[in-house]
Amino acid sequence: MADQLRRHSNDGRTILMLAAIFVAIALLWGTVIVTPLKIFVVLLHEISHGVAAVATGGEIVRIEVNPEQGGICYTRGGNGFVTLSAGYLGSMLWGALILIAAARTRYDRYISGAIGAFILIVALLYVRNLFGFAAALLFALALILCGWKLSGPTNDFVLKVIGMTSCLYAVLDIVDDVLRRPGIGSDADMLAQNTGIPSLAWGALWVLSSVVTTAFSLWIASKGES
């Protein structure tokens, strides 16, 4: 009985923390405070394109990220449909996995360090523009130091913020780039050219997928550590 009450109490604290993070990020979304997090998610978006290309037999040529929260991943070979689809959906999946891993495990410090090491490898191998390389390097070192020097609860909070931002950005960026401003050369526009299916249809499908996945990940994360 005591263990059950303790678990319900922990779950309640997890729900309150997730709700507070969600509200804070939403309120600060248009401010410079959230800009570094958005740029990090853009990097995850471009990495997702690259991972999809490699997974389907292609290769990453280079990745660029700019201060205007834009980016591009140059790939060679692979399945074009899968590669183009992987950007928005990939960043959303990154966010969901990071959020769940932070909320459901006690390995937050190791997770931070592992993500930092992965970003460092990507930066050294593929990020070629100065701003993108500097940003990726800073993110990587910050996460590695966070995992090495800071406490588990601090890493837990950092990972939840990153995960929540990535999930939110996937939805809001699709709405802004695809649904509100069709024809600007987004992933959906390029996919429309390749398939003949309108970019708005792809955008709507991606938004629906992102909302469902985000809601599901929040539901799992709200249960706290297993």
- Angle (CA) 90-92-95 rounded to 5° is 110
Is the distance from CB of 21 to CB of 99 less than 8 angstroms?
no
Residue 204: is its pLDDT beyond 90? no
- Kindly state the helix (H) or strand (E) to which residue 71 belongs, with its residue range: strand 70-76
Assess whether pLDDT exceeds 70 at residue 183: no
Which of 103-107, 135-139, 162-166, 201-205 has the weakest average pLDDT?
201-205
* Of residues 163, 162, 200, 196, the one with CA closest to residue 180: 200
What are the distances in angstroms from CA 13 to CA 1, 6, 223? 19, 11, 10
The answer to which of 40-44, 97-101, 221-225 has the lowest mean pLDDT is 221-225
Tokens 């890493």 sit at which residue?
Answer: 155
pTM for the predicted model, two decimal places: 0.89
pLDDT of residue 156: 95
Inform me whether the pLDDT recorded for 1 exceeds 70: no
- Domains of the chain by residue range: 2-221
The pLDDT value recorded for residue 58 is 97
What is the pLDDT averaged over residues 91-106?
93
Question: How many angstroms separate the CA atoms of 20 and 75, rounded?
Answer: 39
Residue-level pLDDT at 37: 93
Confidence check: pLDDT of 211 > 50: yes
* pLDDT confidence band for 4 (50 / 70 / 90): very low
pLDDT higher for 197 or 150? 150
Exposure string for 50-74, b = 16+ CB within 10 A, e = fewer: bbbbeebebebebbbbeeeeebbbb
Do residues 160 and 17 make contact, with C-beta atoms less than 8 angstroms apart? yes
